[in-house]
Amino acid sequence: MISFRRAIREIDKQMVVLLFLIVVIATVMARRNPFFLTLYNFEVMAQGFLFEALMALGMTLVIVSGGIDLSVGGVFPFAAILMALLLRNGINHFLAMPVVIAASAVVGLINNEMRRILNIPPMIVTMATLLTLRGLNLAITDGRVISRLPSAFVELSSTRILGLPIPMAVYLVAALLILILSKKQRALLHVYFVGGNPTSAALSGVKTERVYRMVYTLSSCLAGVAGILATMVYNSASSNFGQGIELRVITAVAIGGASLTKGGIGSIEGTILGSIFLAMIYNAFVMSGVSTYYQDVFTGVMLVIAVLLRSQVFRQESH
């Protein structure tokens, strides 16, 4: 009886609510439009929120560590632009991809070093990086779209692996890998320790700076991968790619149960559910004929609700 009560207490109430809402939305939309639950629409739904979902995996670890990374909104178009420029200059796409990912990783390293050396809160550091990259992206492209990319690269977007488009396959592999490692790998387990109490973690022998460096670098790398996939899907690159994408990414993580006010709280599985929830909502907007301009309104409202719900759950668990 005691173990049953303990199991009930350990259930993440926010994830239960999220699962319930996903089921409700699927049921309501299926009755309104039978096309909603078709395999084709699932693919459309997934691809519509794929880049945000991929970046949300890295953002989860950053937020769990007690930080935040707004710079992904600049890294995403920067990686797309860099990829397009390399391709336009005759670089093979298989050689260009690691170069773009490495360049994205450097942004994450810079974020962490600025945070460490200048002792500035991560929000300020990554906001500065976001604004810097936005200006750089505009300067590089002169506000123009880079298009007419090599057909060999563009054709990859229609290539399927086990019946899945390459972008979706990349996300599933990344999500599964990070999910497993977050439960088993010591370095990722340390992220929770550092986020919950960095002082205790350091006294226990955990190299906290190494943990911070890892999460910010991984976050930028995944934003870079998302940028490469966007270039592949859209056959172009632009400084306008992903306007406000960093806020949608953070919202997916917050809806999934991560705390924006206290480190050490959050999970990859929660973020996956949060991404599914937002993807379903945005798809439901389109199928219901609701203006897409209301997506940002909904995103803002859901972010506030997610933060309030997580705060309420934390208070209940504290008593």
Confidence bin at 313 (pLDDT 50/70/90)? low
Residue 288: Cβ-neighbour burial (10 angstroms; 0-12, 13-18, 19+): exposed
Mean pLDDT for 258-262 is 86
Alpha-carbon distances of 73 from 132, 227, 272, rounded to whole Å:
11, 10, 19
Residue 211: Cβ-neighbour burial (10 angstroms; 0-12, 13-18, 19+): buried
Question: What pLDDT sits at residue 6?
Answer: 45
* Percent of the chain residues past pLDDT 70, beyond the cut: 93
Mean pLDDT for 215-242 is 95
- Is pTM, for the whole model, over 0.75? yes
| pLDDT above 70 (res 241) | yes
Instruction: List the one residue out of 222, 208, 244, 255 whose CA is nearest residue 79.
Output: 222
Query: Are the C-beta atoms of 79 and 207 separated by less than 8 Å?
Result: no
The amino acid at residue 312 is Q
Question: What pLDDT sits at residue 151?
Answer: 86
Question: What pLDDT sits at residue 300?
Answer: 84
Q: Which residues, at least 6 apart from 281, have a Cβ–Cβ distance to it below 8 Å?
A: 25, 298
307 vs 179: which has the higher pLDDT? 179
Per-residue pLDDT of 112-153, as tens digits, reads: 999 999 999 999 999 999 999 999 999 999 989 998 899 888
C-alpha 68/C-alpha 250 separation (Å) is: 8
- What are the DSSP E strand ranges found in the chain? 160-161, 164-165
Question: Residue 135: helix, strand or coil by DSSP?
Answer: helix
Per-residue pLDDT of 41-63, as tens digits, reads: 888 888 889 999 999 999 999 99
Question: What pLDDT sits at residue 315?
Answer: 61
Mean pLDDT for 165-188 is 92
Question: Residue 255: helix, strand or coil by DSSP?
Answer: helix
